[in-house]
Amino acid sequence: MNFPVAMLHVPEYAHATLETAVDHVFAASALHVTPGQRVLVKPNLVNGRNARHSTSNPAVVKTVCGWLLDHGAHITVADSPAIGPASYVARNSGLAQALAPLGLSVVGLKKAVPLPLTQGGHIGISQNALEADRILNIPKLKVHGQMVMSCAVKNLFGCVVGFRKALAHNRLGHDRALFQAMLMDVSTALPQCHHLVDGIHAMHKNGPIDGELFPLNLLAACPDDIAVDTAIYSLLGLTPDQVPLWTEAISRNKPGAHLEALHFPLAHPSDFDPTGFTMAPDRELSFAPSRIISGRIRSLLKYLKKQ
């Protein structure tokens, strides 16, 4: 199997620049959307704190939605942050405001469906995600203090409903092998995906929330999450033993985990300069119980305001 990883040098988030870039990388990565197709657009809405730096850039998400509407897709823009509602993060990040002219809003992923895990137990994936014809996954390229990197595979963890993510951190966080296996199980269970990585201003030094922006000037599209992640790990000079999800993908014999299975129809990873890109310090996987409780309280208060 040969995966197209369409990488393009994109120096800014200007609308005209993004329109051209998105069209090029989607064409080069063989994305075909048919009229009437139900597409779930899945940005990274990790947290309301530092949201303008830690989430998928609103201009990228808006440009993708415009492209999909032009191709006749029926769009839902949704995510399920571990702490707090998606609409709150969308407002803080500027995404809600960016999508308003298109008549779109951000909703939460709901209706948990139990997914059996390969290492035992279950986790609740959103029925909204499972029922989509296609997921267009838009991760923000970031360092991650618990998983080293957050990119395409990790962003799909957002399809797990709400506080179940925080509970998974607590239940599986004592063993990184269990946690990375769970993340790969979630990725494998979802319907057909296409991935667009926002690495124009990546996050480094700390992450996935409180890092600093790094001008990597990269936009990358691919039909395979593992393949695009592998390309980016390689670009950053990482090796499989440094990245838990890369190790997991290799252990499962995923073809996208091997560079020789990738081809680059536009730019090559060597065309980008990661000099100065700094990894995050390692942190424990488990969430503090107080963080889970505060997130549930925020969700409850939002619900009560609607009544």
- For 189-233, the DSSP string reads HS--EEEEEEEEEEEESS-SSS-EEE---EEEEES-HHHHHHHHH
- CB neighbour list of residue 70: distance below 8 Å, 6 or more residues apart: none
Is pLDDT above 50 for 287? no
pLDDT digits (tens, 9 = 90+) for 91-143: 999 999 999 999 999 999 999 999 999 999 999 999 999 999 999 999 999 99
Check residues 155 and 306 and name the one with the higher pLDDT. 155
Contact between 25 and 219 under an 8 Å Cβ cutoff? The reply is yes
Is pLDDT above 70 for 305? no
CA-nearest of 152, 147, 128 to 222 is: 152
CA-nearest of 75, 52, 56, 57 to 14 is: 57
pLDDT digits (tens, 9 = 90+) for 45-61: 999 999 999 999 999 99
Average pLDDT over residues 159-179: 75
Instruction: State residue 285's pLDDT score.
Output: 59
Instruction: State residue 172's pLDDT score.
Output: 63
Is pLDDT above 90 for 215? yes
Instruction: State residue 113's pLDDT score.
Output: 97
pLDDT digits (tens, 9 = 90+) for 219-247: 999 999 999 999 999 999 999 999 999 99
User: Count of alpha carbons within 13 Å of 89, Cβ hemisphere only?
Assistant: 30
Instruction: State residue 250's pLDDT score.
Output: 98
CATH of the domain at 174: 3.40.50
User: How far from chain centre, in Å, is Cα 157?
Assistant: 8
Instruction: State residue 174's pLDDT score.
Output: 62
Rounded Cα gap, residues 60 and 58, in angstroms: 5
How far apart are the two ends of the chain, measured CA to CA in Å? 52
Instruction: State residue 82's pLDDT score.
Output: 73
CA-nearest of 257, 126, 130 to 184 is: 257
Instruction: State residue 300's pLDDT score.
Output: 44
Instruction: Specify burial of residue 280 (Cβ count, 10 A radius: 0-12, 13-18, 19+).
Output: buried
Check residues 288 and 141 and name the one with the higher pLDDT. 141
Range of the domain at 63: 3-306
Is pLDDT above 50 for 20? yes
No. of helices (H) and no. of strands (E), the chain: 12, 14
Is pLDDT above 70 for 170? no
Is pLDDT above 70 for 296? no
- What is the chain's Cα-based Rg? 18
Domain count of the fold of the chain? 1
pLDDT digits (tens, 9 = 90+) for 72-93: 999 999 999 877 899 999 999 9
User: Whole-number mean pLDDT of the chain?
Assistant: 92
Instruction: State residue 162's pLDDT score.
Output: 81
Contact between 141 and 203 under an 8 Å Cβ cutoff? The reply is yes
